[in-house]
Amino acid sequence: EVQLLESGGGLVQPGGSLRLSCAASGFTFNNFAMSWVRQAPGKGLEWVSAISGRGSTPYYADFLTGRFTISRDNSMNTLYLQMNSLRAEDTAIYYCVKDHKSLQYFDSWGQGTLVTVSS
Amino acid sequence: EIQMTQSPSTMSASVGDRVTITCRASLSISSWLAWYQHKPGKAPKLLIYQASSLESGVPSRFSGSGSGTEFTLTISSLQPDDFATYYCQQYSTYHRTFGQGTKVEIK
């Protein structure tokens, strides 16, 4: 059974940084691209970033303007999202998701971790 | 960025009703479309991929159709467990985008 367990969320001031982690199990981690998808309060789902199975190719939503960095450690079966220069509009639940195949639909989701950007 | 538009945004229905949700893409995405069910406090759940393929374990009352720019999700007979928000998502480009969601409420 695929399991994705996010951690690292919390309250941070505008302009601050956070690093999210996602521990994966139940599948061969390095065979699959992984993504982060977020949901702001009262809003819909929004894709944020993806990374190839080997970790060599990252992809980002245009609105991020270079503030976030996705990475993975295949030896630890862990996905990361480094978030810098955080803004109030980054407040959301961040989901770790497994791509079915590279850059396609998402076949497994974590429970999410809440990031709140507020002074 | 491909825009996805769902309708309606909210709907009220009763157990046993046939429910249809529409999703339109701002340009052709062939059949690169998925549908998800999302309940508060839970992880979203994949229902349909490739516009009409049912994910393993999903009840057969769920079905999807369409191609190009127009797609539908149909629930043939609404069950109590189906009250949730439904999202379409295109994967024609690496920048995956979702519709704004359709909330199915109890009438």
Task: Give A1-35 pLDDT, tens digit per residue.
Answer: 999 999 999 999 999 999 999 999 999 999 999 99
Task: With CB atoms and an 8 Å threshold, state whether A103 touches B36.
Answer: no
Average pLDDT, chain B: 96
Residues of A in Cβ contact (< 8 Å) with B42 = 111
What is the chain B residue with the closest CA to A52?
A: B94
Listed in order, strand segments (DSSP E) in chain A are: 3-7, 10-12, 18-25, 34-39, 45-51, 58-60, 68-73, 78-83, 92-99, 106-109, 113-117
Residues of B in Cβ contact (< 8 Å) with A50 = 94, 96
Residues of A in Cβ contact (< 8 Å) with B91 = 103-105
Task: Give A89-109 pLDDT, tens digit per residue.
Answer: 999 999 999 999 788 999 999
Report the alpha-carbon distance of residue B41 to residue A27 in Å, rounded: 24
Q: What is the DSSP string of B27-62?
A: S--TT-EEEEEE-TTS--EEEEETTTEEPTT--TTE
Task: Give A27-86 pLDDT, tens digit per residue.
Answer: 999 999 999 999 999 999 999 999 999 988 999 998 888 899 999 999 999 999 999 999
Residue with tokens 């079966």: A77
- Count of alpha carbons within 13 angstroms of residue A81, beta-carbon side: 32
